[in-house]
Amino acid sequence: MILSQRLNKRFEEVQSRGEVALIGYIMTGEPQLERTLEYIRAMEAGGIDMLELGVPFTDPIADGPILQAAHARALRQGVTIQTALQLVRELRKSSELPVLLMTYYNPVFKLGEESFARRCSEAGVDGVIILDLPIEEAQSWVNQARKYGLARVFFATPETPAERVTKICEYSSGFLYLVSRYGTTGISETLAPTARPLIERVKPLVPSDLRIAVGLGLSTRAQIESVVQLGVDGVIVGSALAARIAEGIAPQALTDYVRELKLGTRLSLTEPRRSES
């Protein structure tokens, strides 16, 4: 099966508009299960180019307090992988928004990697991000994801040495997720000092067919603008959206916030990372 065409096509479209992709996160079941789709549509209306859809876990060790609370609320509503996939099926009736499932590994392991990959593919998921599955443990997952045409998103961090970045890229498809700073998910006031050196160091190591997206801590248009100027293909906003949704933001106000963030993704001040003829 050919890799998630929706994802690559969307990257190309965004690039041809002179922008980078804005990737927005929502936990399945936020703010309530019956309203998640409405909030996804609100984010899409505001201009997110891709969606990261969260699957909850009981022990989200990579997440800060904002997303921990979202995990807990989702679990209380009985959200599982199946719930997230049902949501994607609903979304697919009216939208071609690329969707990446974001999950911890144990729910995937419990369901079975093959079964999980097949169900994702059937539901219209484009890629999967598994927070606690480094490449050493990912060989069988990569095979399943490849078989079912799912993007396999892995991470590079300020701690990742060059030779490891190269190896991670070999396992990846869709994009490489750059973790801009130390720590769990959350909101930073300013762009982390680790972000620029990381992007500058990693960029030359990434093959031209793999995109780069940066996440962790981003919450303002100004932060996004400064990341975009460093020449990446996507920016990921998670906790900042989750916090607003948790605080009860109305869908229209969420659309407005996303629109403001999206303005920061214009490449007017810089050259695209690579020219696509």
Partner 1 sequence: MAVKVQRPGAMKVGELPQEGHFGEFGGQFVPEILIPALKELERAYREISVRFDFQSELKALRADYGGRPTPLYFAKRLTEYAGGARIFLKREDLVHGGAHALNNALGQALLARAMGKQRVIAETGSGAHGVAVAMACAVLGLHAEIYMGACDIERQQMNVQRMKLLGATVHPVTSGSQTLKDAIDEALRDWVTNVPTTYYLMGSVVGPHPYPMIVRDFQRVIGDEIKGQLLRREQRLPDLLVACIGGGSNAMGTFFPFVTDEKVHFLGVEPAGAAALCHGSVGVFHGAKTFVLQDEHGYIHKTNSIAAGLDYPAVGPELALYKKLGRGEYIAVSDREALEGFRLLARFEGILPALEAAHALSAGVQRAQRMKRDQIVVITLSGQGDKDLDTVVRYDTQPASEQTL
**Which residues are at the interface with partner 1 (CB under 8 A)?**
57-64, 68, 72, 75, 80-81, 105-111, 131-134, 136-137, 154-161, 164, 168, 179, 182-184
Minimum distance, C-beta of residue 113 to partner 1, in the bound complex (Å): 12
For partner 1, the closer of residues 183 and 272 by Cβ is: 183
Strands 99-103 and 127-130: what pairing? parallel
Minimum distance, C-beta of residue 274 to partner 1, in the bound complex (Å): 24
Whole-number Cα distances in Å, 191 to 129, 185, 204, 225:
23, 14, 21, 10
Q: Given 19, 49, 52, 126, which residue is catalytic?
A: 52
φ/ψ of 183, rounded to 5, equals: 115, 180
For partner 1, the closer of residues 88 and 156 by Cβ is: 156
| One-character DSSP codes across 178-189 | EE-SSSSS-B-S
For partner 1, the closer of residues 168 and 241 by Cβ is: 168
Minimum distance, C-beta of residue 258 to partner 1, in the bound complex (Å): 27
- The reply to whether 114 belongs to the active site is no
- The reply to whether 52 belongs to the active site is yes
Minimum distance, C-beta of residue 275 to partner 1, in the bound complex (Å): 30
Angstrom distance (rounded) from CA 19 to CA 21:
7
φ/ψ of 31, rounded to 5, equals: -75, -30
User: Cα torsion at 254, 260, 262, 266 (round to 10°)?
Assistant: 180
For partner 1, the closer of residues 47 and 158 by Cβ is: 158
Quote the tokens at residue 28: 């399945």
Q: Given 19, 44, 49, 63, which residue is catalytic?
A: 63
Active site residues: 52, 63
